[in-house]
Structure 1
C-alpha cells in the first residue's frame, strides 16, 4: 500500500526511533506530525524532511502525559493534512533500576509516559480513524515486554501493558478498517540509557559489550507494517540485534 498523501503522527519524534521513523515515513510519502517536548529538534527534523523528501511536516509541542495536549496534537494533524491515517505511539522512558533502591518517582514517570501516554494517543486518534473506517496504530513496546531482567521490573511491566493494549485493540477492531501493530525492539542505540540514575545499573551497563540496533532498523520495520495491503494486519514484530556467539 502506498503511503503517498497519508497523514502520520509520531510521538517522541525528537530523537532515536521516533526521529528515524518520522523521516522514514516521510521518505515513503507520508505527511508527518512531529510530536515531542523539544521543539528545536523537531524544527530541525521538519527542515530535513521538507528538504530531502516530497512530504510535508508540522511541529506540535506535545507532552504525552497531558491528555489535552495529545488531543490538540490530533486536532492539528487533521487540520493540516485532512486525516489521521497512522499513529506511532513511540514516546517512552526506560529508567531501569533495582526495586530495592526505591526510585518510586521514576516508576511513576514510566507509568505516566509508557502507559498513559499510549492511552492518550489511542484516545485522541480513535474518533477520526473510526469515522474514516481506516487507520493504523503502531505501539512501541520492547523485548522487555517479553522478558524481565533483575533491573527492568517496572519498565517491563509498562511494556507488557503496551503489548496487552495492542492485543486488545487488534481484537476489538478486527472487523473494522483499523489495524494495530505492536513493535518490540531489542537494544537500540539511543539516549534512553543516559536517563538512568541508578548507579548500580549504570555501572553494569557500562561494563557490558553488546551489539546494538540502529533506530533506522526499527523505522524500517514500522514502514513495512504500515505499507502492507489493507487486508494484511502485521500484529507484532520483534526486532533483536544479532548475537555473535
Structure 2
C-alpha cells in the first residue's frame, strides 16, 4: 500500500488504535493531519510520524465535540496541504450508561463523540473528498452482545453501521467510498474510561480474552493494517463493507 501524495485526516491520533494507525500511514508515505486531546501523546505521535516519513504532520489539539472543531480540521488541512484524500474517524469513547441513570449527561456525551462527530466531520470534509474521489473509514466497536450498562454504546454501534452503509450508497455516484473497521477487545487505554485501575488492567484483559474463541486480545497493529487496507485503492470495489477484527468474538 502506497499513500505517497495522499493527505489523511485521522482523529483519535494521540493513543491506542489511532496512534498506531498514524505511524503506519506515515510509514506508507501519507501526509497527515492528526487530531487528539492529549498534547504530550499527540506530539510524540507526530514526531514519530515525521521520523518515519520525513514530513511534518499537521497536529491539532481539539475537543471534537466543541463548536466549529470539525470545520477547523477541514479548513486547516486544506490550507496546509491543499487537499483531503482520506478521512479516518477513529476517535471514540466507551462508558457505562443505563436507563436508571438520573440524567442524560452520560448518554449525550457518548453520542456526541461517537456518533455526531463522525457525521459532522465527514460532512465538512466531503467537498474535498469529492474532488479527490477519496475514502472514509469509520472505526467503531465490533458487534456487541446485549449486556447491562452498554445500552447507549450498542445503539451508537448500530447507528454507525447504518451511517456507513447508507453514506456509502449516497456517496458512490461522487466517487467517494466509505467502509468500517470494527475491532473487538483491543489492547488500548479504553479500560480507563470505565475506571479500571492500572493494577487490574491485565487481569481485566484476560477476562475479556476468555470471551473470544481464540482466547486472544486484538493488538492495535492488526486493526491499523485493516484500516490502511480499507483506505487504500487495493480493492476498488470495496464499499459499504463492515470489516470485523475480533477473533470471532461477536459470533461465538
- Superposed pair shares fold, TM > 0.5: yes
Q: Post-superposition shift, 1:2?
A: 2.9
Q: Which residue of 2 aligns with 1:137?
A: 136
CA distances 1:149-170 after superposition (whole Å, capped 9, x unpaired): 2332111111111111101110
* Cα gap change, 1:114 to 1:92, in 2 (>3 Å): same
TM-score under structure 2 length normalisation: 0.86
Give the alignment partner of residue 238 of structure 2, picking from 233, 238, 241. 233
SS at match of 1:24: helix
Aligned partner of 1:219 in structure 2 is 224
Rounded Cα–Cα distance in structure 2 between residues aligned with 1:236 and 1:97: 25
Aligned counterpart, 2:5: 5
Name the residue aligned to 2:185: 187
Task: Please name the residue that 1:42 is paired with.
Answer: 42
How far apart, in 1, do the equivalents of 2:100 and 2:23 lie? 40
2:17 equivalent in structure 1: 17
Write out per-residue CA displacement over residues 137-160 of structure 1, whole angstroms, 9 at most, x where no aligned residue: 11112114x543233211111111
C-alpha distance 19-103 of structure 1, shift in aligned 2 (>3 A): farther
Gaps of 5+ in 1: none
- 1:109-156, Cα deviation, whole Å (9 max, x unpaired): 1011101111121121012112x1511111112114x54323321111
Cα drift, residue 205 of structure 1 = 4.7
Distance 1:158 1:189 in 2: 21
Instruction: Point out the more displaced range, 222-231 or 71-80.
Output: 222-231
Given that 1:17 and 1:218 are in contact with CA atoms closer than 8 Å, whether structure 2 keeps it comes out as yes
The CA RMSD measured in Å over matched residues stands at 2.6
Q: TM-score, normalised by structure 1?
A: 0.88
The answer (yes or no) to whether the contact 1:185–1:240 under 8 Å persists in 2 is yes
**Structure 2 gap segments, 5+ residues each:** 210-215
Q: Distance in 2 between matches of 1:213 and 1:206?
A: 10
- Gap change, CA 1:190 and 1:198, over 3 Å in 2: closer
Distance in 2, matches of 1:198 and 1:189, equals 13
What stretches of structure 1 move > 3 A for 4+ residues in a row? 97-104, 202-207
| Matched-pair contact (CA < 8 Å) for 2:140–2:182 | yes
